[in-house]
Structure 1
Amino acid sequence: MKTVGIVVEYNPLHNGHELHFHKSKKITRADAVVAVMSGPFLQRGEPAIASKRARTEMALAMGVDLVLELPVTYAVQPAEWFAYGAVATLHATGVVDCLSFGSESGTLEQLLPLSRILAREPDRLRAELDQRLAEGLSFPSAYGAAAAAAFGVSEEDAAGLRELLTKPNNSLGLHYLIALHRLGSSIEPFTISRESAQYHDPEPGTGSIASATAVRRIIANQGIEAAAPYIPEYTLRILEREIRSGRAPMNWDRFRQPLFQTLLTSPPAQLAQCLEVTEGLEYRIRRMLPKLDNSSVDALLDSLKTKRYTRTKLQRMLVHIMLNHQKAGMNPGELVRGPGYIRVLGFNETGKKLLRTMRKTASLPVVIKPASLDHPQLTRDLQAAAVYANAYPNADARDLYHDYRLPPLTL
């Protein structure tokens, strides 16, 4: 059975995702699809619009055969480690033959040879990258400039490289390819050009495809029915149910109280131990808190944002603070070891067959019941799910511990 892997967040699953799903199966001629999906908190440091269980349900309704969780250890990280964790998970299944991802370029012509060079990551590249990040460049811009400087390419080629990598999906795709090289994986990469809407487009264009950013904005400002033209019927149905229950749409304001309590009661030295708290940000947080006009998370982010500190970095920092993610346990030396397990979120009949095969092929424990494994990464996943559920109105013990108790979704 030929199987294609995809890396997703589905925040929420929209028509563009459905298009990518079907094109991925077509160009790879795959019989089955395995999706690695972020849990309750996402790569840009945002809470997902709905729970991972609801988004797993969307994926299965679309036709994904097996949904695996990207541990929060990797899900809330810059592109380098996000991609590494996702690709390592797919690689560890032993059943994934190819990887399909979206990109602005729609071709591997430039990305693939570049990934072979960058996979070696010489010391000079890391030094150049750190310097440009310190100057306040975004990660894609810093990575492009650092790569150009480290490998001594011409000014014209350097400009082309920076342009290529300032596109978020090109940059993320490059890191998928780098991860494949570093893992020595036989998974074959494919890329599909993004159509109509780009990753960050705040408003829908013409037609039925809008970015997830635009879909979330429509839901927040106009209600779920206004988003109906841009999302499949099953996404609409699932989100309507989650909204009625108070479990959606989730956003940063739902987490204001626990976040601010942590920020207000933690000494700077304690904050400094958390991931992404760098260059004295612990003191900037303490200085800005008393100056806020209102105590919303957006107001805090606006007050902290500078050329040096992008909103994405700051959001990830706040997630790590709220979840007490310590630098000591999530440093590059730990991350390079890869995920410690394969957590199953949902599957259909074809997915069940893949799971039976994985009993023989998987190089990591396959977790159906969390109680079966004691691992620090899994502990972080369960804690993140509990913190997320605690933001529901009238959350009870069933909500807080459902991630530990409930079996994977089946279709």
Structure 2
Amino acid sequence: MRVNTAKQALDIISDNEIIWCHSMAATPYYLLQSLAKVALNRKNLTLLQLHTEQSDCLNIPELQGHLRQRAFFVGRCTRPAINAGNADYVPAFLSEIPKMFRSGEQPIDVALIQVSLPDKHGWCSLGVSVEATRAALQVAKKVIAWVNPKMPRTHGDAMVPLSRFDRYVEFSAELSPHLPAAQNTVTGQIGQHVASLIRDRDCLQLGIGAIPDAALACLGNHKDLGIHTEMFSDGVLPLLEQGVITNKYKKKHPGKTVTTFAMGTKALYDFIDDNPELAFLDVEYTNDTAVIRQNPQTVSINSALQIDITGQVCADSLGTKIYSGVGGQMDFVRGAGLSEGGRSIIAFPATAAGGTVSRISSLLSPGAGVVTTRAHVHYIVTEYGIANLRAKSLTERAQALIAISAPQFQEQLARAAWDDWGLLV
């Protein structure tokens, strides 16, 4: 049923219900602004989500006892609430979240989504973000939609009929933009090192940020690259337009760029709109290692917050403080490792806090979460070089990682390798 306001759409939410929120750049922030008010007249609501944009309105203290956020991935909007104990973080591989929904392990009463205008057949599109929302729509008892004329139409698993919506409201507003991260000498050097590991016909998975963009900028002379990724942003556009990315040699979806969500600028969203070369698919499929490994020469490019000298990768927390989430890093690290000719790359600046802290450490900080284990790690890249940890002993790993750490920390790390691990490097 079509209604005139977001409040009217949300009136069907009852006490004690569990709500799924469409995430990433498709966050239905127009609905969330009203939910922050409607929830004050409800009790014990739970809002499930991945990374959300423009959801700060849900962090007001008045919502305690009325609505609590429960995030499978943490971003700027939810990070303060989670680390203050006012919201919850659920560690989970991104590929497994739809399974939790479909199995009933994680019940969902209501789904809040943002979609495109319906076509002449009455079908809307989930647009720039399919992720776990497709699964949520399959199990939710009630669906509330924001129909946004500015939402691009995407192909793949994104289609949902207007008849699926219990309530919907139409309102035109721009999608949440994600501007390209600023580049500097460090990200440029890391990008060059990452690019040196990429071969013609590789199939890439990459995240968002300055380092993936820097690596992509160095790939202009490559041929017939493919994309099978969890997400992509503006950095891929020049390579698609130049014909560097052709997806020609992929075994899964040849000729198609496969993703589950995209975040970027209006230029990216315009490129995505009704583009049949792009397939937006369910994250249970895109991040399935059994699918990923079928593309030869799969290369995953991810980042980290900290790594110890044995190769344990922390990517979701700063000590005990949750920063992001498990996400799809391990899905693709493992999938790339099993792919014929595949490689995984973890790339990050060697230091943090203005050069005063080494991201390569002898021991992880107390409470730091291991997202990628030392048994899965392959290439580690900083601005100081590349360390290949595959088939390396603990001593060899420590030597290789210390060699690509910031010079001012190398002597300290060598001493700690002996003191903490008994490794003579």
TM range (shorter): 0.3 to 0.5
Higher strand share: 2
- Highest RCO, 1 vs 2 (Cα 8 Å, sep ≥ 6): 1
TM-score by length of 1: 0.36
TM-score by length of 2: 0.35
Higher helix share: 1
